[in-house]
Amino acid sequence: MTHDEIFAVIRRNLIEVVPELAGSPITPEQSMRDLGANSIDRLDVVIAAQDDLGIKVPASELAKADSLGALSRIFSEYVS
Protein backbone atom coordinates (compact mmCIF):
# COMPACT_ATOMS: atom_id res chain seq x y z
CA MET A 1 0.00 0.00 0.00
CA THR A 2 1.39 3.41 -0.96
CA HIS A 3 1.72 6.50 1.22
CA ASP A 4 -1.00 8.14 -0.89
CA GLU A 5 -3.38 5.25 -0.26
CA ILE A 6 -2.68 5.33 3.48
CA PHE A 7 -3.13 9.12 3.50
CA ALA A 8 -6.48 8.65 1.72
CA VAL A 9 -7.62 6.28 4.50
CA ILE A 10 -6.60 8.80 7.17
CA ARG A 11 -8.27 11.65 5.26
CA ARG A 12 -11.51 9.67 4.80
CA ASN A 13 -11.66 8.86 8.50
CA LEU A 14 -10.88 12.46 9.42
CA ILE A 15 -13.82 13.67 7.33
CA GLU A 16 -16.10 11.04 8.87
CA VAL A 17 -15.16 12.19 12.38
CA VAL A 18 -15.08 15.93 11.56
CA PRO A 19 -17.68 16.28 8.75
CA GLU A 20 -17.24 20.04 8.43
CA LEU A 21 -13.86 19.33 6.79
CA ALA A 22 -15.56 17.84 3.72
CA GLY A 23 -14.65 19.99 0.76
CA SER A 24 -11.73 21.61 2.58
CA PRO A 25 -8.18 21.09 1.35
CA ILE A 26 -6.45 18.55 3.57
CA THR A 27 -2.72 18.17 2.96
CA PRO A 28 -0.02 15.92 4.45
CA GLU A 29 1.69 18.97 5.95
CA GLN A 30 -1.28 19.75 8.19
CA SER A 31 -1.97 18.25 11.58
CA MET A 32 -5.37 17.16 12.78
CA ARG A 33 -5.10 19.84 15.44
CA ASP A 34 -4.51 22.48 12.72
CA LEU A 35 -7.70 21.27 11.07
CA GLY A 36 -9.74 21.74 14.26
CA ALA A 37 -9.92 18.14 15.48
CA ASN A 38 -10.02 17.90 19.26
CA SER A 39 -8.20 15.17 21.18
CA ILE A 40 -11.13 12.74 21.08
CA ASP A 41 -11.59 13.36 17.35
CA ARG A 42 -7.90 12.66 16.76
CA LEU A 43 -8.06 9.43 18.73
CA ASP A 44 -11.17 8.33 16.81
CA VAL A 45 -9.44 9.01 13.48
CA VAL A 46 -6.30 7.09 14.47
CA ILE A 47 -8.26 4.09 15.78
CA ALA A 48 -10.55 3.98 12.73
CA ALA A 49 -7.64 4.28 10.31
CA GLN A 50 -5.73 1.52 12.08
CA ASP A 51 -8.84 -0.69 11.93
CA ASP A 52 -9.26 0.02 8.21
CA LEU A 53 -5.59 -0.77 7.56
CA GLY A 54 -5.57 -3.85 9.79
CA ILE A 55 -2.67 -2.59 11.91
CA LYS A 56 -1.90 -1.71 15.52
CA VAL A 57 0.72 0.98 16.11
CA PRO A 58 2.21 1.51 19.58
CA ALA A 59 1.26 4.81 21.24
CA SER A 60 4.95 5.69 21.53
CA GLU A 61 5.20 5.66 17.73
CA LEU A 62 1.97 7.61 17.25
CA ALA A 63 3.27 10.34 19.55
CA LYS A 64 5.97 11.10 16.95
CA ALA A 65 3.40 12.12 14.31
CA ASP A 66 3.29 15.90 14.05
CA SER A 67 1.39 15.97 10.74
CA LEU A 68 -0.92 13.82 8.66
CA GLY A 69 2.02 12.96 6.41
CA ALA A 70 4.08 11.81 9.37
CA LEU A 71 1.16 9.69 10.58
CA SER A 72 0.88 8.17 7.11
CA ARG A 73 4.61 7.30 7.10
CA ILE A 74 4.35 5.70 10.55
CA PHE A 75 1.33 3.66 9.46
CA SER A 76 3.18 2.54 6.32
CA GLU A 77 5.82 0.88 8.49
CA TYR A 78 3.14 -1.41 9.92
CA VAL A 79 1.19 -2.20 6.75
CA SER A 80 2.30 -5.46 5.20
pLDDT, block means (10 residues), the chain with 80 residues: 96 98 96 96 98 97 96 96
pTM comes to 0.95
Rounded Cα distance, 47 and 57, in Å = 10
Tell me, what's the pLDDT at 80?
A: 81
Residue type, 19: P
CATH class of 3-76: mainly alpha
Rounded Cα distance, 60 and 25, in Å = 29
Residue 29 CB coordination number (10 Å): 10
Rounded Cα distance, 40 and 73, in Å = 22
Rounded Cα distance, 11 and 2, in Å = 14
Domain spans of the chain, in order of start: 3-76
Listed in order, strand segments (DSSP E) in 1-80 are none
